[in-house]
Amino acid sequence: MYKYILFDLDGTLTDSKEGIVNCVRYALEKMGRPIPDGETLLRFIGPPLADSFQDFCGMSREDAVQAVELYRERYTPIGKFENAPAPGMAALCARLKEKGYVLALASSKPESMCIPICEKFGFAPYLTVMAGSPPGDDWKKEDVIRDACRRLGLTDADKPSILMVGDRKFDVLGARACGIDCAGVEFFGYALPGELAGAGAAAVAQTAEELEQFILTH
């Protein structure tokens, strides 16, 4: 039975599309780069930003680092709050905590940005740990998962009772790299069709209620 539930942030606990897309546009405009189409812009939701600027905009690593700095120039004061809680997820967290589950955040987003977002949208009271990337580094998902588990005091013996919840293949693959299961969510359609199941998600939920049913029965 699962006892420890780790949540991704963007696309899972919150719908961060507006803030992320606006800040990607801002960075690219400041660099004089062309703006990708809308579908490509949505693919920035989930992966580490530097990887996305390289993969989707053809940037060198050096240019991608500059783009991330420009992105955060707008995201830190404005973009992080161009966001909304995912329907039903705060209530789900409350119910799970009441039932004795231990909840934590595991996001590749900088931890300094994760905390105010979780506080603003009502998730912070339910999260024992809020783990994100450290200053100056964009961790991959497996790095954040390992850090969240370490801060929860978990060991290899606890792995069967840990579930990651995320909306992209990066969450699933990161969980697999850490030896734990991942439930995928398709609240906002940011993953490509079949992406989560293809990466090996233990389940794919369309709503908070479906996710809750999976957690309570496994």
Specify whether the CB–CB gap between 84 and 208 falls below 8 A. no
Question: Which residues, in sequence order, are CB contacts of 210 under 8 Å at separation 6+?
Answer: none
* Radius of gyration in angstroms for the set of CA atoms belonging to the chain, rounded to a whole number: 16
Q: Is 51 a catalytic residue?
A: no
Q: Would strands 203-205 and 102-110 be described as parallel, antiparallel, or unpaired?
A: unpaired
Q: Which two tokens stand for residue 59?
A: 């940037």
For residue 15, the tally of other CB atoms under 10 A from its CB is 19
| d(C-alpha 4, C-alpha 191), whole Å | 24
Catalytic residue among 8, 10, 15, 181: 8
- Give the active site residues: 8
